[in-house]
């Protein structure tokens, strides 16, 4: 629609009809170029989507292997590996592998404190071996001396253990408070009477070294 000036200066609207569409405009492609690229090319293999039953059958595994001997060997190997891992963890003092009586920061401090102290009870086992050898001597005097030495050594160990328990309680009270300072004397004594290389978990502090 357009406007032109008519007779007398009046505006008149004149309209026109759009030309008929050409044959090129009427041609609309049924597939776009992107759709055509998705069509399978000649000579290519079309993969079929597997059914759900086929996928389930493919992923299915027997609960018990057919070779029972091999399965038993694998189970034993796994158990052996787990035991070795637990043993190493216990020796190193890993909390995950420690029994209940050895767990916790207080018990760890007790072990370090005992390992750093020179205790008379550490010589208990060598002394007992010496006394045992002396008892095989036919001389009664040697046997009497061996018994006196043994009981005298036991008395000294008991006295040293009492002193150690008192000193340990003071150290625990200063570090952890009064609540955690009690109930560790026997635990410390049992560790003190063992030789250092026989203690479990293994010592982490050297002799006369201040525990953390």
Mean pLDDT of 87-113: 91
Mean pLDDT of 97-107: 91
pLDDT reported for residue 59:
66
* pLDDT for 58 beyond 90: no
Long-range contacts of 176-184 (CB under 8 A, 24+ apart): 176/105, 176/106, 176/109, 180/106, 184/106, 184/107, 184/110
- CA nearest 179: which of 104, 79, 127? 104
pLDDT interval class at 156 (50, 70, 90): very high
Q: Is the peptide bond before 11 cis (omega within 30 degrees of 0)?
A: no
- For 118-129, b/e burial (b = at least 16 CB within 10 A) is ebbbbebeebee
Q: Which of 3-7, 64-68, 88-92, 184-188 has the lowest mean pLDDT?
A: 3-7
pLDDT reported for residue 14:
46
* pLDDT for 187 beyond 80: yes
- Please say whether the beta carbons of 12 and 4 come within 8 A: yes
Token pair recorded at residue 199: 């203690």
Mean pLDDT of 160-170: 94
Tell me the CA end-to-end span of the chain in Å, nearest whole number: 98
What is the full DSSP assignment across 131-171? HHHHTTSS-HHHHHHHHHHHHHHHHHHHHHHHHHHHHHHHH
CA 126, 127, 130, 136 torsion: positive or negative?
negative
């Amino acid at each position: 629609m357009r406007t032109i000036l008519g007779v007398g200066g009046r505006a008149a609207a004149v309209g026109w009809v759009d030309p008929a569409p050409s044959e090129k405009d009427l041609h609309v492609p049924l597939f776009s170029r992107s759709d055509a690229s998705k069509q399978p090319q000649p000579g290519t293999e079309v993969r079929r989507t597997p059914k759900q039953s086929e996928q389930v059958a493919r992923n299915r595994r027997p609960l018990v292997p057919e070779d029972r001997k091999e399965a038993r060997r694998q189970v034993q190997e796994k158990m052996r590996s787990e035991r070795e891992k637990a043993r190493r963890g216990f020796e190193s003092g890993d909390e995950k592998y420690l029994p209940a009586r050895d767990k916790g920061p207080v018990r760890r401090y007790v072990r370090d404190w005992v390992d750093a102290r020179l205790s008379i009870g550490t010589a208990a086992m060598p002394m007992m071996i010496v006394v045992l050898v002396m008892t095989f001597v036919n001389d009664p005097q040697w046997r009497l001396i061996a018994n006196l030495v043994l009981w005298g050594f036991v008395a000294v160990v008991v006295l040293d253990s009492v002193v150690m328990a008192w000193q340990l309680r003071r150290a625990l009270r200063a570090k952890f408070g009064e609540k955690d300072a009690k109930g560790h004397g026997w635990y410390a004594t049992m560790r003190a009477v063992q030789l250092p290389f026989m203690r479990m978990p293994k010592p982490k502090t050297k002799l006369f070294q201040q525990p953390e």
